[in-house]
């Protein structure tokens, strides 16, 4: 198992992707704060500017989470299977070019459909933006998607090469009793297999709708069935956004098992949980369509019932595993392990409001209120983001001798409380029926928005302190490690 492998990495690109993601996250928070200040009536912001910021915030956050998550996953997976560095590199290049296109489309050409680019909005903006903005945005997203598609094709190829098939990567032969639990694929491989499967599906669906939108933007006379478009769009959006946590969670397994010097066991319950979540993640997206009365009833009922269970198998097995692995382990709490533990808390507490909202009766009230951002800011802001920064602390600790100090611990507490503040303010807004994605609020809705804005500023500060620690590591690293290469990476 991974626990006794020594990981000394000099992978420059992993580090590069992390620092880019970290900085992007903080930058996007600034837009988040501005949006909340505007909603809270503190500052004036034109509706157009608000929606541009909403678009860039959503796109940027999901993109940064995916970029960082894939770096985490790649870093650990690369120790078990033979991945292609060239493809990893190509993905980053596609990502950066795509991001530039998206930014130009949004800010220079005022494209503002939200990150979900729901058909037929890209082409029907009522004059808010033109063809060029839409094409830049959609084209940029397509390019980012192409990069990630290549990345997951490569992880799939490597897993099949080593383990025989994607089913075996998920440990199906162990589940079936044909192989002993001792020979089960490591947790990192199981998680990566799941992500490979769901994201290849998501990205092919995403490419189809993106090109469809592009055709429609170029020639609005050619129209498509909006309901099918919505299905494909949310299949893509739901799966891709969710996958960020399944990529980043690899860090939880690897880091906690090293911190406690115990292996993270891929036993049968663990494997069954991951297989269940693979299937559930792909079929629960209809919970985004609960208001579409034209959808067949049974699909919506399925969407609701299964949403209760969506992330739960993996969440429960991971949270339980995390508790068990530290229990009586004599673990010394440091930033990496503390952030990993915190992420379990954030993920779990983020799942609860989601489950509440996935109930059709509740959804009729809560749908499109700020309750929804409330739940995903919890599990992304306190789940994925905690995993990513925890991994950054882990790298710094593992590869260098720089120490964390009181500032880092202080930032940890501030981050925890203020991120709870941001998410909590969204949930409160939702509970008092504030609609989401409204540029302006009536006075009754302003209080929570203001509170969220001030909490958001603190989140940005705390994360900046995390980043400073990572930059200190980068500086040391530059001096200490002049050369790179596969052989020197401590590959096993």
Instruction: Please report whether residue 157 would count as binding other proteins according to CB under 8 A.
Output: yes
- DSSP secondary-structure letter at 179? S
* Of the candidate residues 164, 220, 435, 490, the single one contacting other proteins (CB under 8 A): 164
- DSSP secondary-structure letter at 108? I
Give the interface size with other proteins as a residue count (CB under 8 A). Answer: 30
Q: Which two tokens stand for residue 327?
A: 């229990």
| Span 54-83, contacts to ligand HEM by CB under 6 A | 54, 57-58, 61-62, 65
Residue 159 or 372: which CB sits closer to ligand HEM? 372
Q: Which residue shows structure tokens 């499967």?
A: 197
Shortest distance in whole angstroms from residue 243 CB to Cu ion: 12
* Of the candidate residues 238, 377, 397, 441, the single one contacting Cu ion (CB under 5 A): 238
- Distance of alpha carbon 135 from alpha carbon 156, whole angstroms: 31
Instruction: Please report whether residue 189 would count as binding other proteins according to CB under 8 A.
Output: no
Please identify, among the stretches 170-178, 193-201, 235-243, 448-456, the one whose residues bind Cu ion according to the rule CB under 5 A: 235-243
Residue 40 or 336: which CB sits closer to ligand HEM? 40
Radius of gyration, alpha carbons of the chain: 22
* Of the candidate residues 4, 6, 180, 221, the single one contacting other proteins (CB under 8 A): 221
Instruction: Please report whether residue 276 would count as binding other proteins according to CB under 8 A.
Output: no
Instruction: Please report whether residue 15 would count as binding ligand HEM according to CB under 6 A.
Output: no
Q: Which two tokens stand for residue 81?
A: 């299977």
- Distance of alpha carbon 391 from alpha carbon 337, whole angstroms: 9
Q: Does residue 144 contact residue 98 with C-beta atoms inside 8 Å?
A: yes
Q: Does residue 468 contact residue 390 with C-beta atoms inside 8 Å?
A: no
How crowded is residue 297: how many other Cβ atoms within 10 Å of its Cβ? Answer: 8
How crowded is residue 208: how many other Cβ atoms within 10 Å of its Cβ? Answer: 16
- DSSP secondary-structure letter at 71? H
* Of the candidate residues 5, 84, 276, 400, the single one contacting other proteins (CB under 8 A): 84
Shortest distance in whole angstroms from residue 92 CB to ligand HEM: 19
Q: Which ranges of 40-170 would DSSP assign to H, the alpha helix?
A: 47-77, 85-103, 131-163, 166-169
Q: Which does 238 bind (CB under 5 to 8 A by kind): ligand HEM, Cu ion, other proteins, none?
A: Cu ion
* Of the candidate residues 36, 187, 194, 212, the single one contacting ligand HEM (CB under 6 A): 36
Please identify, among the stretches 41-49, 152-160, 313-321, 408-416, the one whose residues bind other proteins according to the rule CB under 8 A: 152-160
Residue 31 or 264: which CB sits closer to ligand HEM? 31
- Distance of alpha carbon 335 from alpha carbon 459, whole angstroms: 17
* Of the candidate residues 29, 184, 194, 339, the single one contacting ligand HEM (CB under 6 A): 29
Instruction: Please report whether residue 456 would count as binding ligand HEM according to CB under 6 A.
Output: yes
3-state SS assignment for residue 253: helix
3-state SS assignment for residue 403: coil
Region for 261 from its dihedrals, namely left if φ exceeds 0, alpha if ψ lies in -120 to 50, beta otherwise: left
Q: For residue 56, which of 135, 128, 114, 126 has the smallest C-alpha distance?
A: 114
Residues that bind other proteins in the complex, under the rule CB under 8 A: 84, 87, 149-150, 153-154, 156-157, 160-161, 163-168, 200, 204-205, 207-208, 211-212, 215, 221-225, 228
Residues that bind ligand HEM in the complex, under the rule CB under 6 A: 25, 29, 32-33, 35-36, 54, 57-58, 61-62, 65, 114-116, 370, 373, 377, 380-381, 384-385, 419, 422, 436-437, 452, 456, 459
């Amino acid at each position: 198992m991974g626990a006794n492998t020594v990981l000394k990495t000099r992978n420059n690109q992993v580090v590069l992707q992390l620092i880019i993601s970290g900085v992007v996250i903080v930058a996007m928070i600034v837009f988040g704060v501005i949006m909340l200040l505007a909603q809270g009536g503190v500052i004036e912001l034109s509706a157009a500017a608000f929606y541009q910021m909403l678009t860039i915030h959503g796109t940027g956050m999901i993109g940064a989470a995916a970029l960082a998550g894939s770096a985490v996953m790649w870093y650990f997976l690369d120790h078990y299977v033979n991945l292609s560095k060239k493809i990893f590199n190509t993905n980053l290049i596609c990502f950066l070019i795509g991001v530039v296109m998206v930014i130009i489309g949004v800010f220079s050409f005022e494209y503002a459909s939200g990150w979900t680019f729901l058909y037929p909005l890209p082409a029907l903006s009522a004059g808010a933006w033109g063809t060029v903005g839409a094409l830049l945005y959609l084209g940029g997203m397509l390019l980012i998607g192409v990069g990630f598609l290549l990345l997951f094709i490569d992880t799939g190829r490597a897993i099949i090469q080593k383990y025989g098939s994607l089913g075996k990567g998920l440990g199906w032969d162990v589940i079936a009793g044909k192989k002993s639990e001792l020979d089960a694929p490591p947790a990192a491989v199981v998680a990566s297999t799941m992500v490979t499967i769901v994201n290849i599906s998501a990205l092919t669906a995403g490419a189809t709708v993106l090109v469809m939108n592009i055709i429609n933007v170029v020639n609005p006379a050619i129209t498509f069935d909006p309901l099918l478009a919505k299905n494909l769009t949310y299949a893509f959006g739901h799966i891709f956004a969710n996958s960020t946590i399944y990529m980043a969670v690899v860090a939880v397994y690897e880091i906690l098992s090293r911190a406690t010097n115990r292996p993270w066991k891929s036993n049968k319950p663990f494997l069954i949980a991951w297989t269940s979540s693979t299937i559930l993640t792909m079929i629960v997206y209809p919970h985004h369509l609960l208001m579409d009365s034209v959808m067949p009833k049974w699909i919506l009922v399925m969407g609701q019932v299964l949403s209760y269970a969506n992330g739960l198998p993996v969440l429960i097995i991971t949270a339980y595993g995390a508790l068990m692995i530290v229990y009586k382990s004599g673990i010394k709490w440091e930033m990496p392990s503390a952030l990993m533990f915190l992420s379990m808390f954030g993920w779990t507490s983020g799942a609860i409001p989601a489950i509440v909202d996935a109930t059709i009766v509740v959804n009729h009230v809560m749908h499109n209120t700020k309750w929804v951002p409330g739940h995903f800011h919890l599990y992304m802001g306190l789940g994925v983001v905690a995993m990513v920064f925890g991994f950054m602390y882990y790298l710094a600790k593992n590869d260098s001798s720089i120490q964390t100090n009181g500032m880092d611990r202080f930032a940890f507490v501030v981050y925890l409380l203020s991120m709870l503040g941001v998410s909590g303010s969204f949930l409160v807004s939702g509970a008092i029926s504030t609609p989401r994605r409204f540029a302006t609020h009536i006075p009754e809705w302003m209080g929570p928005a203001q509170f969220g804005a001030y909490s958001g500023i603190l989140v940005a500060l705390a994360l900046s302190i995390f980043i400073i620690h990572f930059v200190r590591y980068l500086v040391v690293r530059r001096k200490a490690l002049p050369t790179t290469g596969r052989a020197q990476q401590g590959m096993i």
